[in-house]
Amino acid sequence: MEYNLVSYLTYIPATFYITIVIGKDLNNRGALFLMQMFNNNEALVSTLNKFLLIGYYLINLGYAAISINFFHQITSWLMLAEELTFRIGLLLIGLGFMHYLNIFVFANFTKHIQHFFSNNTTN
């Protein structure tokens, strides 16, 4: 049996599903966070939230696709489970890291971002 093929056919849909579901949830909940940070500027928050979601999808789905090249040769069901667990775990750690990095950036640079957008919208 070709265990690597089974792992790929399991891994890709699982990671795409996880990435898309988490992305939609963060997008919905993040809008409230961004509204507070950007003084209820709906146009700015909507645009920024869409950019963040697109970047999130590109980075995470790209990582999921590329990481298949680094799967080990799988020769048993146990190895298949171990490889999938490891790869999906890495994806989840990456998602969490990116989420907290975004919060850190917005929490520390909100005033600079607001100033940038207020200067560009008045010109």
- pLDDT at position 37 is 82
What's the pTM value of the predicted model, to 2 decimals? Answer: 0.77
Contacts 24+ apart (CB under 8 A), 69-78: 71/4, 71/7, 71/8, 71/11, 73/4, 74/3, 74/4, 74/7, 75/3, 76/3, 77/3
Number of Cα atoms under 13 Å in the Cβ half of residue 14: 14
CA distance 109 to 105: 6
CA 46 to chain centre: 18
pLDDT value of position 119? 67
pLDDT digits (tens, 9 = 90+) for 23-63: 999 899 988 888 888 888 899 889 989 999 999 999 999 99
Q: How confident is the model at residue 103 (pLDDT cuts 50, 70, 90)?
A: confident
